Structure 1
Amino acid sequence: MAAAAAVWGRCWSRAWLCRRAGQGCGRHYRAALCAELKQPLAIEEVDPRPVRPHEVRVDVHFCGVNFADILVCHGQYQERPQLPFTPGMEFAGTVLETGTDVSAVKEGDRVIGMSGFNGMAEECVVDHKALWQIPEGVPLREAAALPVSYSTAILALEHRARTQPGETVLVTAAAGATGLAVIDVATNILQAKVIAAAGSDEKCQLAMQRGAHSSVNYSQGSLKEAVRKLVGSGGVDVVIDTVGGDLFLEALRSLAWEGRIVVVGFAGGTIASVPANLLLLKNVSAMGLYLGRYRDQNFPLFSRGLSSAIQYCQQGRIQPHIGAVFKLEEVNDAFLHVTQRKSTGKVLLSLK
């Protein structure tokens, strides 16, 4: 990752950032565009397109910055939009216009959206099914941090791992957006105990402040041995892993009898091979969670996960941690902030 960060540091400098007037006449809005893979994004003024009957135009206030946005701009993500495209998987804003077939939301409603890649713009047009209303008492800023991280945490813990009260959950990259969401949901919703694994003492301290029962700095030695010192030879019941590579293998070896490990990403850049004998010896389960696939394969479950996150936030049972907010024209700086592992919690772009 250090080499990757160096490349991004050279590549994503402000000198590349530009703003060009869009063609045509009338109102324009600014958008971050990826015109060429592995190159910095440009801020351009573009023409708004008409809203189809089932669509909604949203005035975007905040957009989440996810590692997947960086991967897709490098051509390394599962989905590969046609160039040029605007990244941005999640956003919060207000409804500007609705199509003739839309009745669930109306002009002026506050909404969060989660669809494809189009959120890093002052406006975006999405299918009405990709929007959820924001209840009173939930600020737009916090709402923007919910869709990806908290939907992932809820589905990983509840749907895939079937986490039970009192169980021990180990989460890697614990100070990241998904890691902190896992701590929040596991601790405050599921009443589980969380061991937070992170790469620095500062990140471990943040994870503890956010509700983790204990922490491990895996940059200082073996994750497996550190976990053993905390829980004994029995191991942990659940692992939520976002890192991959050798850390995944150590986490796998830290599982208890009939433990479950859920793979949600490969932030470390390496995909590990699963030794099948480890699954057999302790009857453990290894499974994956690709959140976007649920949107297509099981939309009711996908929707329930995000709806639950919104409800928990309104009730004050969870509290998203926002680590940094960048302006739209600072999008390349935001990407670099993530790739250099400086980020904690959710990183947002502010469009206002």
Structure 2
Amino acid sequence: MKALLCEHHGPAEELVIRDLSDPQPGPGEVVIAVKAAALNFFDTLIIKGRYQSKPAFPFSPSAECAGTIAALGEGVTGWQIGERVAAWLGFGAAREKVAAPVEALVRVPDRLDDAQAASLFVTYGTAMHGLIQRAHLKAGETLAILGASGGAGLAAVEIGALLGAHVVACASSPDKLALAREHGAQEEVDYAQNDIRAALKKLTDGRGVDVLYDTVGGELAEPALRSMAWEGRYLVVGFAGGEIPKIPLNLLLLKGCDLRGVFWGEFVAREPAAHRRNMERLVEWAAGGHIRAHVHATFPLERWTEAYALIGDRKAKGKIVLTP
């Protein structure tokens, strides 16, 4: 089988494709014939050794995939060869076949395609965990999303709208904001053209934002925090802007608001039952057409450099998917 491999830390151009033996499932595992492997922003970091997880070499990138079960390991019951599944792996999915523990699997209904199914874990899983378990978002509250046109941001837009929030999309261009509106945003802020603090204050009639979902960080973080409402919840999701901001803690005191970290991978490990409930709900929503991961582009495995460039240059609107 073919596998995209990281053999040393470096840019995407230094990844390689190798022919490997097919994996064999261990006890409690299945082998998935991968039809779609989704990439995320952290895939640009993990290959450079700049992410909190540092797999041993060689490893394949891509944390989430969808396909069909090709083999069953010892002790596996309740699953069948040929059954459509999606899985969260952490890394390793950018290959034609991959072994996965059954605990990582969810069933994929026939009416949900592989690219959509592969795109539900990281971005939508993070948004579900952030908005439900961390923010306790309530219907009628104002939810502002920084980086609203990326995969993580669009997921939060859709889920926030489904949960009944008043969704404000914040992004850096009119076309990105238009995409967020298509996915359920009701208001918008172009932070390339406007002061984000002033814009959010104006949109909320001076009250401020109840929940802020920040996938960007960098120089936007402090002015966004200054726009929070009393007892607001600022969700720290990621740092696509590159810089990890340094927050003046006196703002939390003055606002009576919270900074809350959203570490979805650790949530999956610590609270597997809650994670499974979230994912089953997401699959049901996706199959019913209530959410739809926006797949910006799909690429065969051999064109991985183009896929990585779209993410690294911040040109991707939604998800980038490899199709082994």
TM-score, normalised to structure 2, is 0.97
Per-residue deviation at 1:50?
2.2
Stretches of 4+ aligned residues off by more than 3 angstroms: none
Contact 2:23 2:97 in 1 (8 A): no
Look up the match of 1:313. 286
Matched, 1:108 2:82: yes
Per-residue CA deviation, residues 110-157 of structure 1 (Å, 9 max, x unaligned), is 000001211000110111111111123212221111111111111111
Matched residue type, 2:217: G
Matched residue type, 2:4: A
Partner Cα separation in structure 1 for residue 261 and residue 298 of structure 2: 30
Aligned length: 322
Matched residue type, 1:162: H
1:65 pairs, out of 35, 39, 46, with 39
Contact 2:38 2:115 in 1 (8 A): no
Partner Cα separation in structure 2 for residue 207 and residue 159 of structure 1: 23
1:273 pairs, out of 219, 222, 246, with 246
Matched residue type, 2:282: A
Look up the match of 1:37. 9
Per-residue deviation at 1:302?
1.8
Q: How does 1:137-286 map to 2 (within 5 A)?
A: 137-187=111-161, 189-286=162-259
Aligned Cα root-mean-square deviation (Å): 1.1
Look up the match of 2:59. 85
Gaps of 5+ in 1: 1-28
Matched residue type, 1:174: A
Look up the match of 1:22. none
Partner Cα separation in structure 1 for residue 27 and residue 78 of structure 2: 13
Per-residue CA deviation, residues 226-282 of structure 1 (Å, 9 max, x unaligned), is 112211211011000011122111211111111001111000111112221111112
SS at match of 1:208: helix
Per-residue deviation at 1:222?
1.3
Partner Cα separation in structure 2 for residue 123 and residue 250 of structure 1: 45
Per-residue CA deviation, residues 156-209 of structure 1 (Å, 9 max, x unaligned), is 11110000001110001100001111111111x201111100011110111112
SS at match of 2:192: helix
Percent identical residues: 37
Per-residue CA deviation, residues 277-325 of structure 1 (Å, 9 max, x unaligned), is 1111121010111111112211112222212111111222212211111
Look up the match of 1:18. none
Matched residue type, 1:283: G
Partner Cα separation in structure 2 for residue 161 and residue 268 of structure 1: 22
Matched, 1:330 2:303: yes
